[in-house]
Structure 1
Amino acid sequence: MSSYEVAWSIGELAERAGATVKTVRFYSDSGLLPEASRSGGGHRRYGPEALERLHLIRSLRTLDLPLPEVRRVLENEGAAGRVLEDAVAGRLRELGSELKALRWREAALRLVQECPPAEQADRLRLIGAVNIPPSTAPLARFWRAWLPPRMPTRATSAFLEVAVPQPPDEPEPAQVLAFARLHAMTTAPCPGGRQPQPEVHRVAGARGAATLYPGLAEAYELAVPQLRRARDPYPGEALDAYVAAYASAYGSRDSREFRRMLAAQLAAEPRLDLYWELTAVVLTPPGGRPEPTPGSADDWLRTALEQDNAAAA
């Protein structure tokens, strides 16, 4: 370096950048801050490019980008814009997950704070078993064990999409409690080694399930608007789709006799009412009306079927 070129000591660079000497030394030792030269006594000397680089490093760190990402941005000058964009997008995703976790912790703390002392131990046990942010994997495993073996992947995925509630990003304490109870319900050991599946579903087998569950999903979609309008169950398009789904799975056809047989079998089957009640709490926004679920849609359709059979008797 010639005599007229700028050569700052580490202290002078730190002062110009508004940083501490310790900070400058750390970035220099990390290989992020280039030295222009060394003095005769071995002391570091820095030029204007080091000041610009130091400002950039501190800006990136202010955005909470980790050092490896800062290094990627600095080492890819030719594609710095794209690398920075990727780094920022990744950090935003991480921050979203962190914020969701914080909101769930806040709601969980309020849940414990607001409950009677006699219930605190039980609520702590329920909450402590759930990951934060919460995972829906245990619920999905519950349903995969409940569904017919060798059921087509597409039909399974479609069913899980409607059966597994997604935890809200900003939950109320009641939603945290409902999700924790869902988690406890779906992870509890089943006495028979497998969750009890309704006989009316089991006898359809994997091949019948490929038409049964998509057909039921269609019937539920038709029933949901009626539920949102708080309309009483009645025979109509939704019920026809519901019966048709079972008839197709059974290799039968929709008839009065089939409807009577189906109503009798459905009435005798085990229920998962608690699961759907808790799901409704998880899905319903604070102060809103209960959100329809496959369970509430199925109840509506079963009642419509019973009414249809009674009217035809």
Structure 2
Amino acid sequence: MSTSNELLWSIGELAERAGATVKTVRFYSDEGLLPEAARSSGGHRRYGPRALERLRLIRSLRTLDLPLPEIRRVLEDEDAAGPALEDAVDSRLRELGNELKALRWREAALQLVRDCPPAQRVGRVRLLGALTTPPSTAPLARFWRAWLPPRMPRRATAAFLEAAVPEPPDEPHPSQALAFAQLHAMTTAPCPGSRQPQPEVHRVAGASGAALLYEGLVEAFELAAPHLRAARDPRPGEALDAYVAAYAGAYRSRDTPDFRRMLDAHLSTDPRLDRYWELTAVVLTPPGGSPQPTPGSADDWLRAALQRDNAKAV
């Protein structure tokens, strides 16, 4: 409580000194954020300089758009500039980043609707309206989990999903937003027979063999990526050896010339997901940028390298 020598203000006087409204002061006081120094004989609140300092800090924190619970934690921290304030600012920055990303995706979507031919606008609105903003990769991941062999170990599945599912860019060009919306539509559309056609190796490998296969393929794709970025022609080497070894392990075979010829023949008849990888390449590469390798483009390069290697062995 105050002493007789302490400067005290009514709620209106405190509001005037802080440049706030009486309603604002009463709200923060009712929330327990402003310390009362005393009460008048009539029961009215009286505030001292500490309340004025606290009110100015609260209003500054609100200007930074910090929510009330975060402000309360900052005020309860013994050091006003301590960990609570740092955590609150970091949290708000993350939220703002997500909000800005969502706004950029909405902007790209609006540009796509505005710039397309009038006859296509309703269809494009429906296509883009199926996305959340910012968009989620969960439907793409579900698509791949259904496509991969059942009971694959979680670690192997996660490694392949990391390579196969493109992250939506924070600042999408309209073409990237359109490609991601088309990926979403492709991966959420019902499949004939309820399941995508499966490569023959899925049946042969089983869960344990499939894990080795996809771990090996991810390694081979990573080894092929520098060749793709440098626009080198497909060629035998470490990347191709890793690629063939992944399949040899799944087929419980050895890497021999005969196996390579058999593999080439099998791969030429396997179901393809070319459209998925074409759209993924658009999502990953802004207009004018260098094309980014995808598992699809790496697989194409490695298959061509396998064919070239087999042709040389004949």
TM-score of the pair, normalised by structure 2:
0.96
Moved more, 159-168 or 215-224: 215-224
- SS at the partner of 1:192? helix
Contact 1:260 1:309 in 2 (8 A): yes
Deviation by residue 1:94-134 (Cα, 9 ceiling, x = unmatched): 11111111111111111111111111111111111111111
Contact 2:201 2:250 in 1 (8 A): no
Task: Return the letter of the residue paired with 1:122.
Answer: G
Instruction: Report the equivalent of 2:270.
Output: 269
Contact 1:200 1:266 in 2 (8 A): no
- The Cα of 1:79 is off from its aligned counterpart by 8.0
Instruction: Report the equivalent of 1:20.
Output: 21
Instruction: Report the equivalent of 2:140.
Output: 139
Moved more, 68-77 or 265-274: 68-77
Instruction: Report the equivalent of 2:62.
Output: 61
**Separation in 2 of the partners of 1:307 and 1:236?**
12
- SS at the partner of 1:105? helix
Contact 1:167 1:179 in 2 (8 A): yes
Q: Does 1:239 align with 2:227?
A: no
**Cα 1:91–1:287, aligned 2, differ >3 Å: closer, same or farther?**
same
- SS at the partner of 2:287? coil
**Separation in 2 of the partners of 1:207 and 1:25?**
66
**Cα 1:7–1:256, aligned 2, differ >3 Å: closer, same or farther?**
same
**Separation in 1 of the partners of 2:113 and 2:263?**
45
Deviation by residue 1:221-267 (Cα, 9 ceiling, x = unmatched): 12111111111212222212111111111110111111111111100
Q: Does 1:178 align with 2:168?
A: no
Instruction: Report the equivalent of 1:29.
Output: 30
Instruction: Report the equivalent of 2:210.
Output: 209
Task: Return the letter of the residue paired with 1:182.
Answer: L
Residue-pair matches, total: 313
**Separation in 2 of the partners of 1:83 and 1:229?**
48
**Separation in 2 of the partners of 1:227 and 1:76?**
54
Contact 2:199 2:270 in 1 (8 A): yes
Instruction: Report the equivalent of 1:71.
Output: 72
**Separation in 1 of the partners of 2:256 and 2:5?**
99
Moved more, 294-303 or 27-36: 27-36
Instruction: Report the equivalent of 1:221.
Output: 222
Contact 1:74 1:80 in 2 (8 A): no
Instruction: Report the equivalent of 1:38.
Output: 39
Gaps of 5+ in 1: none
Deviation by residue 1:279-313 (Cα, 9 ceiling, x = unmatched): 00011123102211000010011111112222222
- SS at the partner of 1:232? coil
**Separation in 1 of the partners of 2:76 and 2:231?**
61
**Separation in 1 of the partners of 2:32 and 2:197?**
61
- The Cα of 1:160 is off from its aligned counterpart by 0.6
**Separation in 2 of the partners of 1:233 and 1:265?**
19
Contact 2:18 2:56 in 1 (8 A): yes
**Separation in 2 of the partners of 1:291 and 1:171?**
15
**Separation in 2 of the partners of 1:170 and 1:183?**
18
- SS at the partner of 1:308? helix
Instruction: Report the equivalent of 1:92.
Output: 93
- The Cα of 1:201 is off from its aligned counterpart by 3.3
Gaps of 5+ in 2: none
Structure 1: which 4+ aligned runs deviate by more than 4 Å?
none
**Separation in 2 of the partners of 1:84 and 1:7?**
29
Instruction: Report the equivalent of 2:4.
Output: 3
Task: Return the letter of the residue paired with 1:257.
Answer: D
Instruction: Give % identity.
Output: 79
Task: Return the letter of the residue paired with 1:17.
Answer: A
Contact 1:7 1:47 in 2 (8 A): yes
Contact 1:104 1:171 in 2 (8 A): yes
